[in-house]
Amino acid sequence: MRIKVILAFSNTLFAEGIGKLFENDPDLEVCSVIEPGEACSAAELDKLPSGVILCDFTSLYNSLPEAEETGKKHHVLLLDTYCGRENLVSAVLRKKVSGIIMSKSETAQLKKAVKAVHKGEVWLDKNTFKSILHGINAMNGDKNSLLSVREREIVSLIGKGLRNKEIASRLNITETTVKTHLTRIFQKLNIKARSELISYAIKTDDLNPSQVRTSHDF
């Protein structure tokens, strides 16, 4: 069965050109094209066959619903038209794209990326991966500068798996004070779950993940 491809681009001519690359391909078939400037709702997207959404950055944010809103599993492959490092980081972290391929790539490479993403693999070339990693590290550094010394201490202890009560004892403060600090930390880092904070702490403290235990007392 041919892999279904959904095109979502901000430029009609560009979308038509990409579509022609898949014509007569025995493995790939364009099943739908989301028109430039039109928003596709989660309900509309769920009516389409599960497959790979190939899009540019503008359509990723303006035309497609959030991944959590859709019932069907659609893998998203972003065609990078030189949208910038920060936008690539945003696409990976916030939009959870399955892959990024450069617009200068050859047709064979594009088709290979679509097939890989459809199988559940992550597609990133070395340069893009390095760029995203650098951007994530820079983003983490910027966020860390927002925290006070005490807040950074708490984040570090969270990353080591300590519970609120243990943190309070270690820092000689009350458990209520720990919770107050955590509320501020969550707001400053735009984090909504303790598990996210643990992941952030591991990245910034460079801890061994095996040292971490999950706690749900916040």
The pLDDT value recorded for residue 169 is: 93
The correct CATH number of 3-137 out of 3.40.50.2300, 3.40.50.1370, 3.20.20.140, 3.40.50.150 is 3.40.50.2300
* Distance (Å) of CA 200 to CA 30, 33, 59, 77, 153: 39, 37, 29, 25, 13
Asked if 3-137 and 146-211 have one fold, the answer is: no
Residues in CB range of 28: below 8 A, 6 or more apart: 2, 3, 5, 22, 111, 114, 115
Give the DSSP H or E segment for 188: helix 175-189
Q: At what angle do helices 126-144 and 85-93 cross, to 10 degrees?
A: 80
Give the CA angle between residues 56, 57, 58 to the nearest 5°: 95
The pLDDT value recorded for residue 145 is: 61
pLDDT along the chain (218 residues), means of 10: 94 93 94 90 90 93 80 88 74 81 91 94 77 60 69 88 90 92 88 82 53 36
Distance CA 68, CA 31 (A): 22
Distance CA 164, CA 41 (A): 41
The pLDDT value recorded for residue 81 is: 84
Predicted TM-score of the model (pTM): 0.61
Q: What is the CATH number of domain 146-211?
A: 1.10.10.10
Report domain extents, the chain.
Answer: 3-137, 146-211
- 59 within 8 A of 9, measured Cβ to Cβ: yes
Distance CA 28, CA 194 (A): 41
Distance CA 26, CA 62 (A): 31
- 169 within 8 A of 157, measured Cβ to Cβ: no
The pLDDT value recorded for residue 132 is: 66
